[in-house]
Structure 1
Amino acid sequence: MDFLYSPKVQELQQKLTKFMENYVYSNEELFEKQLNEQESRWSDIPPIIEELKAKAKQEGLWNLFLPQSKYGAGLTNLEYAPLCEIMGRSLIGPEVFNCSAPDTGNMEVLERYGTEEQKSQWLTPLLNGEIRSCFSMTEPEVASSDATNIEASIESDGDYYNINARKWWSSGAGDPRCKIAIVMGKTNPNASRHEQQSMILVPLNTPGVKIERMLPVFGYDHAPHGHAEITFNNVKVPKSHIIWGEGKGFAIAQGRLGPGRIHHCMRLIGAAERALEELCKRVQNRVAFGKPIANQGVVQEWIANSRIEIEQARLLTLKAAFMMDTVGNKEAKSEIAMIKVVAPSMALRVIDRAIQAFGAAGVSNDFTLAAQWANARTLRLADGPDEVHRAQLAKLELRKYQSSKLLTPVEK
């Protein structure tokens, strides 16, 4: 690996950093203010978001993801990593550049597996930032960390599919701009275990689709984006809405979740970097027991450990991105699993230290630390819990040392 960023990436880093400093950080409070001034936090989009999106698009800071695609910015995963990190420093940052979840993952699905009709109807407006989307996979009645457990029914009915399901944590469904859901369910429960599932496009205005409630995260509603519980009762959509084909849902999910997982990790590194910066500034400006907090040995240990942990996580993220580019997502599955375990836990530790340094202010909404901590904690569950990734890693590691014949215990 070459640890130097290319001139193209360095230029984009500078442009993104400048844009974040000039426009994004300074408008985080305005975003919340405009959100609270509305009749409902779900009724409309704070105007500042659309203003910033237009400005970012004008400056060419738009759709920087999508490697190996005519629709993206021509960046590899490795080139995108440091840019995604910069966006992740703010919770509103990714959307400003049209690089936020779950839209990025949904756009990758449509770009790789969608028909030309599906791309025209849904991918183009998503790429333009005109609409948003959600991904409906998780279900309340089953352990959805095992996707084969999913019970949603997608039954053939003439020229249509009939969908019955109860989904939750469909991120983005509360957004008034959210027009389309990618729903995962079973088209053939009798097929082999990994070929029962399919993915299908369901417009949210289809009869039978109902958002039952929005689900807060540690008290944060994440409006106007949010996370919804949705029911699909006898929802009929044309057969042309199936993605790739029947039985391809599990394969699509594996293709979608690889990039999605690493994007989360990139953003978390940015969140941790900002937390460490705020920690360092805070402890040098606060005096306790007759000396700056920065002079306390335990605080210096927090700072040193945070820097070490961020650098470790960044290197593993870059290695995973490099492997995705060079040998493909499937061959990089160990590295993707490793960083998905490492990055959220690292970010939680760093942000927690910053909260401790800020004292009572750290748990308030006056700073972004509490909200970033809540977001990082969810990512130990989203796209697969830590335990699932560790189990996969253990199996892959054990496989390296399997003998060609079964070993028998040594007799005493």
Structure 2
Amino acid sequence: MTTAESVAQCPAVFFAAPASGQGKTTVTAGIARMLKNQGKVVRVFKTGPDYLDPQILEQASGHPVDQLDLWMAGDAYCRQRLYEAACEADIILIEGAMGVFDGEPSSADLAVRFGLPMVIVMDVKGMAQTAAAIIKGIAEFRDDVDVVGMIANGCASARHRELIEGALPESIELMATVARDPELALPERHLGLVQAAEIRDELEARFDAGAKVLLASGLMEKLDQLPSVAFYAPEPSDTPSFPPLLAGVTVGVARDEAFSFIYQANVDALTSLGASVTYFSPIHDSALPECDALWLPGGYPELYGARLAGNQGIREAIQTFFSNDKPILAECGGLLYCLETLTDYDEASHDMLGLLPGHGSMRGRRGCQGMQIARFPEGEVRAHAHHRSVSEGTPEPVAFGQRQRHPAPGEAIFREKRLSASYLHLFFPNNPAAVAGLFLP
């Protein structure tokens, strides 16, 4: 039986799109800032294993942004996060990933699982009534998806709006239009959006400009009319346990311009396991903090190769840490940092840590991405890969990731002394005990 303590009511809306590149993050960030400016407590979530969009959405909303992924994080985790948000928020926004039906599970699957009404964000450049036809097709593709509205991004004029609006089914409202304006668009680079910390002041101007446009479009009144959604807390038996396996252990986490792909959920998992977390910068710091284990997460080391190579103090400190058989977890960009050299997009080669034999190099726009299970000796942890680099001359892997939907071996997993390194980005709450084993001194 459901108790009053296990259900929370809160308006919520899921923003999806026909494809990537439609402006979902720009629009969702503008809406979050609009609501924040109106004094609303807004909690935002991002679908899928994304690092960059949540940074943008966190700055826009003023609250931490969690990733929701039914495969990587699981139903109970997603349910718990939404329930906690509903207990404190005036409204919940969820930004989808890719096209609405793309992936297994898809954005549509997540919206249906939690009974979320969906608004389609669509770039309407070069079309009018056809945009309405696409929205109608999305709404009717599955009978369990509740499409209630559309936001027309790149709408050229009032007449353009009239043509789209007049062709939409009565059940789907044109909730807002956004003109094509370079002052609103978010800057991008090879793995997606530019990190929020690099352009914080510029983002503030773009958020406020977007909020002003959306407020003038009448979107605030339409969001105020959204009905509440019931969010249920998961059963305690469905949530993973966090025994104090890392009690007394301090984990040093690399965090700066070069290393920022860090799920807050992963940090929370470490502290739930009893660990203390401290941060350091491989770019700016000359020494490590007092710690028992290191986590070198992903990021953009290729953009800071010369500065990483030039920081001899921190390189020697990490090399000594490694030589003393202390545990290190290196993910993607962290893996590249652990190799002997890294060649950037300008073909310049930089000396890295040399903890692991091999050489990393960037390879243009082509890359590898997808969900995988990291099969460590300590246990299996769900993860994902997303990189545009290649590593050569590396040692024989101790294991390979298991791809979500393909029989070919996934990313290589390396072990050298107590270093565990791979291109895979782990989701720690998926298997806390296995993760604890990676950091235990």
Greater fraction of residues in strand = 2
Greater fraction of residues in helix = 1
TM range (shorter): under 0.3
TM-score, scaled to structure 1: 0.25
